[in-house]
Structure 1
Amino acid sequence: MGFLLWIIIGGIAGWIASMIMKTDAQQGVLLNILVGIVGGLVGGWVLGLFGFQPEGNGLIASLLTAVLGAVILLGVVRAVTGRRPLPR
């Protein structure tokens, strides 16, 4: 059940982060899941630097941690590649 939960939370977190960063038109479901899962790792690492321990605090804390990390990840990718969101 843990792996399935990672995929679900990762997909939701990646989708929310892509909406925040306005990259949703450029990403599909699989990329949203990947961004969300990697974002969870990044978010956990960043929060750990500030003394927060997000693991074990429930689904909402996990989702917020993954969204934070995914936004950071998408921001870094945008800064490195120089890509801007597609106009709507």
Structure 2
Amino acid sequence: MGIISWIVLGLIVGVIAKLVMPGKDPGGIFVTILIGIAGAFVGGFISSLLGFGSFSGFNFKGLLVSVGGAVLLLAAYRMLKNRKTS
């Protein structure tokens, strides 16, 4: 997938990650969407490292990998933000 496809997928994934991990996020929905974009990249990178190959378009496997990356980043972001405020 091209970079534009990953960004569009990341926007969708950011919203899905917010639904999977409800709660008050520091930074609001816009930060969550940005984390979704980054999660799409991270998920694709990890998938390539693990030997699952690259993705050629929007498909269910790419969506799952991207949501996994976004949830991972969102959890890390929440832990870092909560640690700084306590």
CA separation of 1:81 and 1:22: change in aligned 2, threshold 3 A: same
1:62: how far off?
2.7
| More displaced stretch, 44-53 vs 65-74 | 44-53
TM-score, normalised to structure 2's length? 0.69
TM-score (norm 1): 0.68
Counterpart contact for 2:9–2:40, Cα < 8 Å: no
- Give the superposition deviation at 1:41: 0.8
Is the Cα–Cα contact under 8 Å of residues 7 and 33 in structure 1 kept in the other structure? no
C-alpha deviation, 1:70, in angstroms: 0.4
Q: Report the Cα distance in structure 1 between the residues aligned to 2:31 and 2:54, rounded to whole angstroms.
A: 24
Runs of at least 5 residues in structure 1 that lack an aligned partner in the other structure: 84-88
What residue number does 1:86 align with?
Answer: none
Matched, 1:59 2:58: yes
Aligned residues: 79
Distance 1:50 1:33 in 2: 25
Match for 1:70: what amino acid? A
2:48 counterpart residue number? 48
Task: Kindly report which structure 2 residues correspond to 1:7-86, keeping only aligned pairs within 5 A, or say none.
Answer: 7-23=7-23, 26=25, 27-28=28-29, 30-56=30-56, 58-60=57-59, 61-82=61-82
Structure 1 vs Structure 2: percent identity of aligned residues?
Answer: 38
With 59-68 and 39-48 compared, the bigger mean Cα shift is at 59-68
